[in-house]
Amino acid sequence: MNKPNILEAENWIDIWHHYYNAEIELEKSDPNAICISSVDTNGMPNSRYVLLKDVTERGFTFYTNLTSQKSIELFQNGKGAMTWWSRAQNKSVRVQGTVDQVNDAVANAYWDSRKEDAKISALISKQSKEVENREQLEEEFAKAKLEYAGKNIPRPAHWSGIIICPLRIEFWESTSEYTSRLHNRIVFELKNDLWQKKRLYP
């Protein structure tokens, strides 16, 4: 009997979990690294990696400084894109969508789960501003660490979770006949609140 093919699933999230659960076993170093793309007011695209922290039917959540370039561009446009690649499985997921923010309770819960040093570095970061040198950065970090020793470190209001809420998701996977390049490309598109699924030529 043939093994059921996950690409036959009717819900994109089932395929995502299938890909990602396998990835956690195979890739020990940042299996959740995703590339986030935004566009500035001149139409210049901009991409960078972040760590994906949650995936639900609503979308893909990562955490960042809300004064960062990515945050400004994503909220200015109300649109963004995400790409995930698995070297181990030779698969990729590509998402385009609208942009939303998690509520304070969700942001606080994730903040509380972070290690103290990660909290301190988020707290002192003057996101993407020029810093004199490495020593300056380390001095500010040490000062804040001392200041907050044994105290609760509050989540800065400018640090939260951004959700890429998908409108289009593509699952790409190479097949065992790699040399033929007959790869699988399955796309889900949200039309009138309903997900439509189709296959593309590779």
Q: List residues binding ligand FMN (CB under 6 A).
A: 30, 33, 46, 48-51, 62-65, 68-70, 128
CB closer to ligand FMN, 69 vs 108: 69
Which residue, 129 or 151, is less far from ligand FMN as judged by CB? 129
Minimum CB separation of residue 65 from ligand FMN in Å reads 6
Phi-psi region of 193 (alpha: psi -120 to 50; beta: other; left: phi over 0): left
Using CA atoms, how far apart are residues 107 and 149, in angstroms rounded to an integer? 22
Query: How crowded is the C-beta side of 46, counted as CA atoms within 13 Å?
Result: 16
**For the chain, how many helices (H) and strands (E)?**
5, 8
Least CB distance from residue 154 to ligand FMN, whole Å?
18
Closer residue to ligand FMN (CB): 18 or 53: 53
Nearer CB in complex with ligand FMN: 6/72: 72
Map residue 172 onto helix, strand or coil.
strand
As to burial, measured by CB atoms within 10 angstroms (0-12 exposed, 13-18 middle, 19+ buried), residue 55 is middle
> What's the closest the beta carbon of residue 32 comes to ligand FMN, in angstroms?
9
Q: How far is the CB of 153 from ligand FMN (least distance, A)?
A: 17
